[in-house]
């Protein structure tokens, strides 16, 4: 049975769904879910939202993570989401290092534009949830209706960078679960 999808939620991965690491998440054994993140994905899915993960993964371009390992981590994340009652509709990632100036590396909009092309997304019905200034800037540049910053990343750095750019998120949430509650309350 095909789902009727009105809304899309773009989720950053590291720092939103799972704990981030300055040394990169290089294997499934290093992957640690942030409490409530799987429940949030399940809630979005129950509401009929499309859930897409959009993530910079320069560890691939730096030679720290083989692309096949990253794909396996995403398959495991998708399976864990399914087991919790949720569904991730797709993964979009930029494997490039910042100095490569790739158009898909956030805060550029390439990942979101790829997702829109593949899934026929109306950005006026889309939200982005992220833990960094890059995520919120990407949402604004792409034209997402909502941009939500979560406190599970380096919130002070994110807020300072956003303030310097004159950009504000629509909401600041404690974590993905409370971000989901806020988004669902806005959109039903």
Whether the Cβ atoms of residue 138 and residue 161 lie closer than 8 Å to each other: no
Listed residue (77, 92, 81) closest to 40, CA to CA: 81
Left if phi > 0, otherwise alpha if psi is -120 to 50, otherwise beta: which for 61?
A: alpha
Active-site entry in 12, 20, 135, 170: 12
14 is catalytic: yes
Going from the C-alpha of 12 to that of each of 3, 49, 59, 120, 128, the distances in angstroms are 23, 16, 15, 20, 8
- Quote the distance between the C-alpha of residue 42 and its chain's center: 15
154 is catalytic: no
Active-site entry in 14, 20, 89, 135: 14
User: Any idea which residues carry the catalytic annotation?
Assistant: 12, 14
């Amino acid at each position: 049975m095909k789902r009727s999808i009105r809304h899309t939620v773009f989720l950053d991965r590291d720092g939103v769904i799972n704990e981030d690491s300055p040394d990169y998440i290089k294997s499934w054994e290093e992957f640690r879910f942030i409490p409530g993140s799987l429940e949030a994905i399940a809630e979005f899915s129950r509401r009929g939202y499309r859930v897409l993960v959009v993530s910079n993964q320069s560890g691939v371009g730096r030679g720290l993570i083989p692309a096949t390992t990253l794909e396996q981590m995403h398959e495991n994340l998708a399976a864990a989401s399914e087991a919790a009652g949720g569904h991730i509709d797709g993964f979009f990632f930029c494997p490039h290092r910042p100095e490569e100036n790739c158009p898909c590396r956030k805060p550029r909009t390439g990942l979101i534009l790829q997702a829109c092309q593949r899934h026929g997304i109306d950005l006026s019905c889309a939200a982005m949830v992220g833990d960094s200034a890059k995520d919120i800037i990407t949402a604004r540049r792409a034209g997402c209706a909502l941009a939500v910053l979560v406190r599970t990343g380096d919130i002070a750095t994110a807020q300072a960078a956003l303030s310097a750019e004159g950009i504000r998120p629509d909401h600041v949430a404690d974590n993905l679960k409370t971000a989901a509650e806020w988004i669902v309350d806005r959109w039903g």
